[in-house]
A and B are shown apart, each in its own frame.
Chain A
Amino acid sequence: MKKILRISLFSSFLFAMTLGVAGCHFFGGNSQSHDTSKIQLTIGFWPEKSEKRDVAMYNVWKENFEKDNPEYEIVGAPYTYSIDTIGVKYETKSLPMVYQTWFTEPETLKNSGYIRDITSILDEFGWTNKMDDEMRETLTFDNKIYGVPRDGYGLGLLLNISILGDCGLLPEVSKDVYSLYNEDGSPAYPTTFEEIQEFSEVIVDSYASTKGMFICSANKQGGWQLSNYAWNYGAELEIKDTTTNKWKANLTDPGMVNALKWIQEMKQNDFLYQGISIVYDDWANSIGEKVAMAVVGSDILHIAQTTGGVDMSNLAFVPMPTGDGNHHYSLYGGTPYVFDKNTTDDQVRGILKFFDYIGRSPSTSEHNISAIREGYEVAKNKNQPIVPKIMPWKNNEFLTVAKQLEQEYVSVDMDYYPFFDTIQDNKHTEVPVAAQVMYEMLDEAIQEVLKNPDTANCEALLTTVNSRFQRQLDQLNG
């Protein structure tokens, strides 16, 4: 009997050793206790602990908000969205109520049932019609809105003006200072795809290793950018048959063929950043010396400096070039905040109210504006370059105040950022259905061209892609 007792004791000791430590906070994960009488709001876009300045700022906002709205309690639950983790996070019910995702994601998130629509509450707050139209469109499925935009982005052409100027491609105003414009005021920067080739030729001739242009070809980012080129060559990539209501793939459009052929010519002449499988992320590390031009989204221009170590004063950001001499479309979207499926109406309301305390609402209330200001201050103190933003709200009273604030803080010379003057006229949202699938297939076509620039047949490649894509669309057409 004694022995049985002893052995059971020992076994339970083993269990205790393992499970006992679970009680300890360090091992127990995120089991925190909260005041249950309040409505909790878990915020996924809360800054990471290591970002001390931002956390301090958010804590002040939290305090202000909770003072005015005592029925709510804000809980920071930092979550960096990634396609690896979202599924498990959802299955295990550990998603925060609101989190930031990428502009490409809302459609799949909605289809997977991970996020909820917040249309009625947006209407209640009167925000629906204040949202930027295109951004709202990318968040709307079946007439329901699935998120709130944080800010917008548009694709544009990023130039290293030191390299271009050094080759004599831009007029020199004073020593090592170059202008984007000729004396008659016309743009000296490339405005057509053809000019990019001409510029590239000069650059490649002047330097041993520097190439003309950085283009992506992998991770769906090649197709993402190529679709923009194709629009500017006059293409339309997906057509809805008005009688049958079915989608038709149109990737063999002459505009698309010309866009791909342009890439082929660039590669044949060795104007492109070396490599076959190139991802978007690498642009920031390339724009310093490796290439002189790249197509980049306007929302992350500052990482040229923070990641790539390139001084912003060496750069300029101009509208997308045109292929057909007519269109300067800029692929346009927004970075959204989305709401977990299990969030209640009351919680969504609370979170939207909180947006007003952190500078994310369309109102001109005192806290909203001062929060925007604090955001700029923190960025400034971190020595982060401040580039203009594409505002997520279009109501005038907000825009006036926000733009004024922006001017106060922008740290780059706006003469070199003509992109922002024209973006409102050039906006073009991404293709309406199955964009990611299309991008992935276009990637393969680009890579084929990069592998065999002299033999690849663009028409044939696109015909194959088109029929494959049509099969995918047929699945959706049902």
Chain B
Amino acid sequence: MYLPSRKAKRGRLHEKMNGLMSFSDYKKKRNVVSYWVFIVLLIMFSLLAAAPIVWLLVSSFKSVQEINSVNYRFFPNSLDIRPFIELWQNEGLTGIFINTFVVVIFSVISAVIFNSILAYVIAIIKPAGYKVIDKMILLAYMIPSAIAIYPLSIAVTNVFGRGSYLPLFLILGSNAYYYMLFKNYFEKFPKSLIEASRIDGLNNLKVFFKVVLPLARPIIGVVAIFAMTASYSDFLLPYIILGMQDQSTWTLMVAVYSISNRVGASGSSIQLNNVLQLLTLSIIPQIIIFIIFQKQIMNQGVNSGMKE
């Protein structure tokens, strides 16, 4: 992050060149006031964005009696970490986190390989009928995948058996959006480059591995990060596949949903503070990933110009 020195700060408004209002506008007092209104608004938005997360972190230290109390207090009575550890052990979260990371890793591989090959063939090799395929994928892009969840769940169980992880990451190999990202990128490649490497005697496969992929590193990064968050957060298909299996096979989101919904179910039950603790534990990896890849994550959304 860019941290300006104190000296530079003072003069910044009067040096501003870009944007709707520049330094010449800020010679007027009225515009300076509106600038500070902007700042206040942004502070407000930032607080609104951060507040629920802070609330969750703080509240997850409360005991169930504190949560069920009719006298609301913001801060918990103690900052005891032991309930987290207990929850972790009771629910077998080590296994659940391992499952999740396995799914995430294979999802990223699958998302990058299958979509990039498809995009490479459609954008560069262009075999007969490539336009039809391109149109059909485009059609799939706008229609949410969950829309046909019943036939999908039946097909998945028939082909892969029950409780299999394979479909969880293979499904990311058929993502219309990742395909489009790759395709747009490949289409911008200079044709001469491909032609030249062909003349050098490289076959299609070698062109892909030796020329296209190394040049596509930025877009691979973008898709990898997308696939990482998508597979970590994915709920419906994992729930349909794993929700009825043994708890030790669950991914984190299946666990968040199933365990949190266990309130009051006969036999086993979960306390409300455990629900908050589970939520806290589930978002920590995401926050860590965000801190590490902050720049890449925030730029990727911009570069690709579209939402997930």
Contact = CB atoms under 8 A, between A and B. Distances in A.
CB atoms of A and B under 8 A apart anywhere in the complex? yes
B272 interface: yes
A289 B113 contact: no
A289 B70 contact: yes
A337 B154 CA distance: 26
Interface in B153-171: 153-154, 157-158, 160-166, 170
A306 B269 contact: yes
A48 B262 CA distance: 14
Contacts of B68: 285-286, 288-290, 308-309
Interface string B30-60: 0000000000000000000000000000000
B247 A48 contact: yes
A476 interface: no
A94 B162 contact: yes
B110 interface: yes
Nearest to B92: A50
B154 A92 contact: yes
17 contacts: A6-B205, A27-B164, A29-B160, A30-B162, A50-B248, A78-B247, A80-B265, A84-B239, A88-B244, A91-B157, A284-B269, A285-B272, A286-B68, A288-B65, A299-B266, A306-B271, A307-B270
B161 A30 contact: yes
Contacts of A28: 161, 164
Contact of B244 (A14, A27, A89): A89
Nearest 3 pairs of A and B residues by beta carbon: A281-B264, A29-B163, A309-B64
B245 interface: yes
Given A85-B244, A289-B69, 15 more contacts: A21-B166, A29-B161, A29-B162, A49-B246, A85-B243, A88-B157, A89-B244, A91-B154, A94-B157, A281-B264, A282-B264, A286-B68, A288-B68, A303-B264, A306-B269
A309 B65 contact: yes
A290 to B, nearest CB: 6
A175 interface: no
Given A18-B110, A26-B165, A29-B164, A300 B263 contact: no
Interface residues of A, number: 53
Nearest to A51: B268
Contacts of A10: 205
B195 interface: no
Interface string B76-91: 0000000000000011
A92 B158 contact: yes
B164 A22 contact: yes
Interface string B247-266: 11000000000000001111
Nearest to A7: B205
A477 interface: no
Contact of A50 (B71, B153, B161, B247): B247
Interface in B262-302: 263-266, 268-272
A22 B166 CA distance: 7
A143 interface: no
A3 B203 contact: yes
A50 B91 contact: yes
Nearest to A150: B266
Nearest to B271: A307
B197 interface: no
A155 to B, nearest CB: 14
A359 B194 CA distance: 74
B165 A27 contact: yes
B233 interface: no
A426 to B, nearest CB: 21
B63 interface: yes
B170 A18 contact: yes
Interface in A234-293: 280-286, 288-290
Contacts of A94: 157, 162, 244
Contacts of B245: 29-30
A335 interface: yes
Nearest to B242: A29
A30 B163 contact: yes
Given A91-B154, A288-B65, A300 B203 contact: no
